[in-house]
Chains A and B, each alone.
Chain A
């Protein structure tokens, strides 16, 4: 085999793989599911977007990877493999070596994700120290990554407390912490949602640039399709705890295969200013995960629903060009 072939092949290795991941809580032997069986695959260096409304289970799905689910929520069943290793079988101590160093996370609200009582330096350095860096090495690296994420005057920033920084700067610090140990996968859980629009764009570009620079894989969770349009290779659209459409980004935007995706795209303001069309909204509200019943969870809000949608919940079906959708009806059959 030649080197030219080995390159892409190495890149195509599965890095993170979720198989039938179910998240929820147990109550007197009864399982309440919120994430109802999600399968996802991220290859090394690949960028995957997970899109969905709040409550669709996208955040819980990614939190389950590093076992960071809040409160009573837990992984009910399923496998989470990272680089061939099943993370669900690891002991807490072993998982700690994956957390932060192999898989790093950036969260939605930087204000609450940083410890308000500790200086920035302490919060960056402790991560490095936990993964084997010496004291001096950690301090040098701290400055380096703060500089790398575009913070002006890293010396001042590292002496600051989080509340002395703006939201955008705080998120840059979070990204610096995530990057400091050179992870192979970055999970960004709506990192721009709590920020001003102008700052959102900066953070987006920052992560994009860093991804290109380091070649790490990125899972980008967002409720904003516009955010993923440019950034990711693949998009998984989640609805009511399941992936309802999975497709390469271009294909998804050009020809959505699930009515929910189509509706989301319809609600997106288009970039061309001359191209004026009214924005459509999706009527109704997402279903309560406690009472889904049988049938497609989107049927009540779907304009193309047929009798079968009431009875049976569709699973992902191949639609060609690497696209999969959980819908009984092909787009050609949609009555408009």
Chain B
């Protein structure tokens, strides 16, 4: 067990290293550099000497490998650089934005799992029944309608019909003003959670229908166990591995989804920070945030893998 965790951690580091190379190269291949990003059109007015000095300061002309190594070295010491547009440290920017995105992601997953598991399980107990059909309806909406449509629709609907628009007020921290914070997080989380829930519901339903016809499901019913125990202890547990897989994938996508939804609901999270930084050519921020998203994705994948071994003892054998 310990060895397999160590092996996974190592492979995670290697992946992360690869991701950092790609991010670094992609950003360097874009037209423009730190100096032009800083100065905009006025970069053209610089004298040659000024230009050389600035290039030297930002390390613009350096070989890529050297730039990369110095970036990596700085990152490993916890120095993510300084934002070009706001002139504050990237660490403090990310530090402010990360909790918002984490809260949004967790809230979305909770909503998604609730919708997905409940509709999936109860739908599968009576295929084509009322619950199942309702669930399928939700799934069609959740899978078919993109989150920016649901999000803007939700905003418009709440604002015009109820004059209720919590996002118009300054974002409140979870601990400083929890009530307002939850109102502000709930609707974006619902927007993302619908999509997540739809995918999880489909997986849950399909897995449950498969498990229902297995021998151990029959044994469980034949023993005289209550419906609750049969459904959750035997059927749902048996269906859990694919559900966890799908949840991991969805959580990964969710990190990307926050970019759009944070924009719509004006949440000061990582996604919004990323979008703003891209339009400002704020390389240090873009690099760091992208890397954090990638790391999040990898960590989620690793956790899913480890969950398998907890759920299914047979995976130990490998």
Binding site for B on A (CB under 8 A): 66, 68, 70-71, 92, 96-101, 104-105, 107, 109, 112-118, 126-127, 130-131, 161, 163, 174, 177
Known: A115-B237, A115-B238. A130 touches B216 (CB 8 A): no
A97, B225: Cα distance in complex, Å: 9
Question: Which residues of B237-278 have CB atoms within 8 Å of chain A's CB atoms?
Answer: 237-238
The 10 closest A-B pairs by CB, nearest first: A100-B224, A99-B224, A112-B215, A100-B223, A115-B216, A113-B215, A161-B313, A127-B223, A96-B224, A113-B219
The residues of B that contact A99 with a CB separation of less than 8 Å are 221-224
Q: Decide if A107 touches B312 in the complex (CB within 8 Å).
A: no
How many Å from the CB of B8 to the closest CB on chain A? 22
Provide the bound-state CA to CA distance between A233 and B310, in Å. Answer: 48
Contact partners of B214 in chain A: CB under 8 A? 112
Are B216 and A177 touching (Cβ within 8 A)?
Answer: no
- Asked if B9 lies at the interface with its beta carbon under 8 angstroms from chain A, I say no
| A-side contacts of B220, CB under 8 Å | 115
Q: Which residue of A lies closest to B311 (CB)?
A: A117
CA distance in complex: A105, B238 (Å): 21
- Chain B 196-221 interface 0/1 with A at a Cβ cutoff of 8 Å (1 = within): 00000000000000000111101111
Bound complex: CA A69 to CA B75 (Å): 62
Which of B221, B224, B229, B237 gathers most chain A CB within 10 Å? B224
Task: Give Cα A175 to B215, complex, Å.
Answer: 15
B226 within 8 Å of A by Cβ?
Answer: yes
B interface residues (Cβ-Cβ under 8 A, vs A): 213-216, 218-227, 229, 233-234, 237-238, 311-314, 317
B103: shortest Cβ distance to chain A, in Å? 32
Indicate if the CB atoms of B215 and A109 lie closer than 8 Å: yes
Contact A70 B223 (CB under 8 A): no
A112-B214, A117-B313 as given contacts; A130 in contact with B237, CB under 8 Å: no
- Name the A residues within 8 Å of B226 (CB-CB): 96, 130
Contact (Cβ within 8 A) B224 A131 = yes
Q: A107 and B215: CB pair below 8 A? A: yes
27 contacts between A and B (CB under 8 A): A68-B222, A70-B213, A96-B225, A96-B226, A99-B223, A104-B223, A107-B218, A107-B219, A112-B214, A112-B215, A113-B216, A113-B218, A114-B216, A115-B216, A116-B314, A117-B311, A117-B313, A118-B233, A126-B225, A126-B233, A127-B224, A130-B223, A130-B225, A161-B313, A161-B314, A163-B313, A163-B314
Residues of B within 8 A of A127 (CB): 223-225
Residues of A within 8 A of B225 (CB): 96, 100, 126-127, 130
A68 to B213, CA, bound (A): 11
Nearest Cβ in chain B — how far from A172, in angstroms?
A: 15
B211 CB to nearest A CB, Å: 10
**Which residues on A sit within 8 Å (CB–CB) of B219?**
105, 107, 113-115, 174, 177
A115 touches B234 (CB 8 A): yes
Question: Is A117 a contact of B237 with CB atoms below 8 Å?
Answer: yes
Of residues A71, A97, A118, which shows the largest number of chain B Cβ atoms within 10 Å of its Cβ?
A118
The distance from the CB of A122 to the nearest CB of chain B, in whole angstroms, is: 8
CB distance from B318 to the nearest CB of A (A): 12
A92 to B226, CA, bound (A): 10
A179 to chain B, nearest CB (A): 12
Query: When the two chains form their complex, are residues B237 and A118 in contact, meaning their CB atoms are under 8 A apart?
Result: yes
Chain B residue with the shortest CB-CB distance to A63: B218
- What's the minimum C-beta distance from A306 to chain B, rounded to whole angstroms? 43
Q: Is the CB of A130 within 8 A of B229?
A: yes
Whether A68 pairs with B224 at a CB distance below 8 angstroms is no
B234's nearest neighbour on chain A, judged by CB, is: A115
The residues of A that contact B221 with a CB separation of less than 8 Å are 68, 99
Q: Taking the nearest CB of chain B, how far is it from the CB of A277, in angstroms?
A: 39
Cα(A99)–Cα(B222), bound, Å: 6
Q: How far is the CA of A109 from the CA of B314 in the complex (A)?
A: 18
B312 and A116: CB pair below 8 A?
yes
Q: List A contacts of B227 (CB < 8 A).
A: 92
Determine how close the nearest CB of chain B comes to the CB of A74; give it in whole angstroms.
Answer: 15
Q: How far is the CA of A127 from the CA of B224 in the complex (A)?
A: 7
A68 touches B216 (CB 8 A): no
Measured CA separation A116–B311 after assembly (Å): 10
Q: How far is the CA of A131 from the CA of B225 in the complex (A)?
A: 8
Q: Of A107, A115, A118, A130, which is within 8 A of B224 by CB?
A: A130
Q: How far is the CA of A127 from the CA of B229 in the complex (A)?
A: 11
The residues of A that contact B218 with a CB separation of less than 8 Å are: 68, 70, 107, 113
A71 cross-chain contacts in B, Cβ below 8 A: 213
Cα distance, A59 to B65, chains bound together (Å) = 71
The reply to whether B216 and A126 contact each other, CB–CB distance below 8 Å, is: no
Cα separation A104 to B311 with both chains bound (whole Å): 28
A100 to B215, CA, bound (A): 15
Closest chain A residue to B220 by CB distance? A115
Query: How far is the CB of B132 from the nearest CB of chain A, in Å?
Result: 16
Are A112 and B216 interface neighbours, CB within 8 A? Answer: yes
A53 CB to closest chain B CB (Å) equals 21
Least Cβ distance of A235 to chain B in Å?
24
Tell which of A68, A100, A114, A117 has the most Cβ of chain B within 10 Å.
Answer: A117
Known: A113-B218, A115-B237. 11 other contacts (CB 8 A): A92-B227, A105-B222, A107-B218, A107-B219, A114-B219, A115-B220, A116-B314, A117-B312, A126-B223, A163-B313, A163-B317
Partner of B238, one of A100, A104, A117: A117
Residues of B within 8 A of A113 (CB): 215-216, 218-219
Least distance between B120 CB and chain A CB atoms (Å): 18
Q: How far is the CB of A162 from chain B (nearest CB, A)?
A: 9
Complex interface: chain B residues within 8 A of A174 (CB): 219
- The docked-state distance in angstroms from the alpha carbon of A251 to that of B219 is 35
